[in-house]
A and B are shown apart, each in its own frame.
Chain A
Amino acid sequence: MKALPLSYIARNLWVRRVTTVLTALGMALVVYVFATVLMMSEGIRATLVATGQPDNVVVLRKGAGAEINSALARAQAAVVESLPGIATDALGRRLVSKEPVALINLPKRGSGKPSNVTVRGTSDLGLALRPQVRLAAGRMFRPGTSEIVTGRAIAGGFVGADRGETLRFGGRDWTVVGVLDAGRSGFDSEIWGDSEQMIQAFRRRDFSSMVVRLADAGDFERTRTAVDSDPRLQLEAKPEIRFYAEQSEALATFISILGTALSVIFSIGAIVGAMITMFAAVAQRVGEIGTLRALGFRRRAVLVAFLAEALLLALVGGGVGLAAASLMQTVNISTTNFQTFSELAFRFTLTPGIAVKTLLFALLMGLLGGFIPAWRAARLSIVDCLREA
């Protein structure tokens, strides 16, 4: 069977430029929305997954779910600290960080609108437990002082949180002595200070959570059994990666469900647009179709040609939409993660998987919009076509 050349198909689109551009524009917008939504939920997921380390374990009060709901008494923390299987650093100290976590309300730069920011009390061991966190500017806080370091997103996003500035909370002024670069993880949206100072400032008795580095990541089950079986503890241990993945689940799922529902509704509009265009293309070229058929091109060749035209149109729209969406990668946004009730900064993240999905989505729209018109074109009889022309 002889197929119609691709240049014929492409030039047909070029002849009706205005219509082609309008239809492709509609599709591009749909594709743009579809891609940005996927990129957004991927960005949230990537941020929180990067926050966890494979051999770290988080210990919280049973049923707490989030760090701010949790409380660990000092006696309980001491029991956990003495569990077997915990890694030690070069000085022989156990790699354990007992951390109070609190939320404070800070005004954003620019808009002045308040939002909740996570404040974490930690120590040099806490930093050692998170190798992805390093200082971008300044120095670490000194233990036993009212010094704090802020994550990059907080330093840039909130009033008084940049290096050299001071923040007031918990009844005292805290000097920001450094800015952390946490490699696009959740710690970019946190404020860190000395653990004992934080407990005093917030007038607490308990820690919120504990992070423990295992000597062997495969030992997690044994650690969990040890925590579960001790009646003094009433705590639960989770691998850090899973803990943070769970924190992102609700928000990421919410955004992707909302976004997918929107994209599907929008795509109806775009499919209708493609269908209108293709029907018109068929109607205008009835004579041409008859001539092609008379020249010996089969029905199937006509079907394929029109379908290819619709797919090409969709591909143009999809490409433009995807290109626009990929520009979004430079945009940083932040929103409140309602599972932790605190601010989380993240970036739109474009993965090859999302790009492929998006283009397939565009092609599917083209296929759905183009099939019926193409089928109709192929069904026309030669004589009718030629008579009409």
Chain B
Amino acid sequence: MLLLRLLLKNAFRHKLRSALTLIGLVVAICAFGLLRTIVDAWYAGAEASASTRLVTRSAVSLTFPLPLSYGERIRAVQGVSGVSWANWFGGVYVTERNFFPQFAVDPTSYLALYPEYVLPNVQRQAFLRDRQGAIVGRKLADKFGWRVGDQIPLRGTIYPGIWSFTLRGIYNGVDASTDEQQLLFHWKYLSETIRQRPGANPARVDSVGVYIIGIREADDAALISQRIDALFRNSLAETLTETEKAFQLSFVSMSEAILVALQAVSLIIVVIIMAVMANTMTMTARERLAEYATLRVLGFSPGFVVRLLAAESLLIALVGGLLGIALTLPLAAFVGQAVGTLLPVFRVSELTLLLQLLAALLVGVVAAAWPAWRISRFDIVAGLRHVG
């Protein structure tokens, strides 16, 4: 008990210095947590993917379409339980800043494959009946203040012209990892509209961006992928089938350089704060040389003195770390709002919180190492002579 009081008194003896160190720690631990959350958000699409869904795209690249006729042939492949398809629309709502993903999908089969999009039955029926209808995720609707029945005009970049959709439903994600910032509309509406245009390229009218394939057994994913790709080998449009997770990860790996930089930077901040904290502990130890010498004279072992210093360092680091963690949650909510549709799922994971705590403890241990090593081997007489 006495020891604890000594620790507390020691740790906050220099109020200003302790306060400054704490501020530094809080900022660093907070930034560390936020950076990790940003990196996590990048992987959110892959995390939310189901192991029983495959994605088939053109083997050349995602920008090449596949023929609509492939759908029926894929459905006949052994082990496939459902087939749907989607086209990336790439429309602009008012300005480029309002970016959010839009997909032209085959509604019935698509919603059957994505049970995580929870839609009231009335709205689902209304959407299925209206070919010009669309549904959006809850967060997107909240962001733009859309209500069911509203008209949403989009300016096409891939498919030219102004496209107007009637909002027929707003879906909720089944859990926090579901993307609630998309707009889905009828693929038929897209293809019919293009067909009616003069000079329409017949190859583009009945084309599909990707096929989404539901399979019965997740374990069969590799086998079924091979079967599908074998079906179209040496055809005019060869396919590449992979699990939904691998498909999403291929997007993540495109911006890998940025992710690696973010991860590096999140470690650098820990090193920075280590330097600040180590500096504080070094100064503390230097000032207290006479005190430590006195403790040694009174019969305390060198180990005790070292433990005293280490415990003080850990105590400050722990307090700063906990404050930082407490601040991370509201701050992450704020940043999540600010980045909006760019990173649709923005959530501080439990692992991040744990790593923040570990980082704080690591800072505490490392900061005490150098001064502790010094005081463990200093000369008592010199220490007593030293005036702090």
Contacts and interface: CB of A to CB of B under 8 A. Distances in A.
Interface of A: 18-19, 22-23, 25-26, 29-30, 32-33, 40, 61-66, 68-69, 73, 102-105, 113-116, 169-171, 202-203, 205-206, 234, 255, 258, 262, 265-266, 268-270, 272-273, 275-277, 279-280, 333-336, 338, 341, 343
A275 B370 CA distance: 21
Contacts of A280: 17, 283
Nearest to A65: B157
B253 A202 contact: no
30 contacts: A18-B282, A19-B282, A22-B276, A22-B279, A22-B282, A23-B276, A29-B271, A33-B265, A63-B155, A64-B160, A73-B199, A102-B60, A103-B62, A104-B60, A105-B60, A115-B253, A116-B61, A116-B254, A169-B60, A206-B201, A255-B258, A262-B31, A262-B265, A265-B27, A266-B268, A268-B23, A272-B20, A276-B283, A335-B257, A335-B258
Interface residues of B, number: 52
Given A114-B250, A272-B23, A170 B60 contact: yes
Nearest to A335: B257
Interface string B86-128: 0000100000000000000000000000000000000000000
B1 interface: no
Contacts of A262: 31, 35, 265
Contacts of B71: none
A29 B268 contact: yes
A102 B276 contact: no
B64 A23 contact: no
B276 A26 contact: yes
Contacts of A61: 160
B275 interface: yes
A375 to B, nearest CB: 14
Contacts of B298: none
Contact of B269 (A63, A170, A266): A266
A269 B30 CA distance: 11
A202 B236 CA distance: 9
A206 B199 CA distance: 11
Given A113-B253, A115-B253, A273-B272, 7 more contacts: A19-B282, A22-B275, A26-B272, A102-B63, A170-B60, A273-B275, A333-B257
Contacts of A336: 254-255
Interface string B271-293: 11101101110110000000000
B157 A64 contact: yes
Contacts of A26: 272-273, 275-276, 279
Nearest to A18: B282
Interface string B235-279: 010101000000000100111111001100100110111011011
Nearest to A274: B276
A372 to B, nearest CB: 10
B2 interface: no
A203 B254 CA distance: 26
A261 to B, nearest CB: 9
Interface string B54-94: 00000111111000000000000000000000000010000
B28 interface: yes
Contact of B61 (A104, A203, A277): A104
Contact of A19 (B30, B62, B279): B279
Contact of B64 (A22, A66, A202, A258): A202
Contacts of B256: 113, 335
A277 B268 CA distance: 20
In terms of DSSP, what is the predominant structure of the interface of chain B?
helix
Given A276-B20, A334-B257, A335-B256, A30 B61 contact: no
A16 to B, nearest CB: 9
A19 B254 CA distance: 42
B158 interface: yes
Contacts of B63: 68, 102-103, 116, 341
Nearest to B249: A113
A203 B236 contact: yes
A276 B21 contact: yes
A62 B35 CA distance: 39
B20 to A, nearest CB: 5
Contacts of A115: 253-254
Contact of A69 (B90, B199, B253, B255): B90
A388 to B, nearest CB: 11
B303 interface: no
Q: Which 8 A-B pairs have CB atoms at the shortest separation, nearest pair first?
A: A336-B254, A273-B276, A272-B24, A335-B257, A26-B275, A22-B279, A105-B61, A103-B61
B272 A29 contact: yes
Contacts of A104: 60-61
Nearest to A61: B160
A30 B31 contact: no
Contacts of B199: 73
Contacts of B254: 115-116, 335-336, 338, 343
Interface string B8-30: 00000000110011011001101
A315 to B, nearest CB: 17
B156 interface: yes
Contacts of A63: 155-157, 160
Nearest to A275: B20
A116 B203 CA distance: 23
Most buried by B among A113, A169, A170, A262: A262
Nearest to A20: B279
A77 to B, nearest CB: 14
A102 B64 contact: yes
B280 to A, nearest CB: 6
Nearest to A30: B272
Nearest to B57: A105
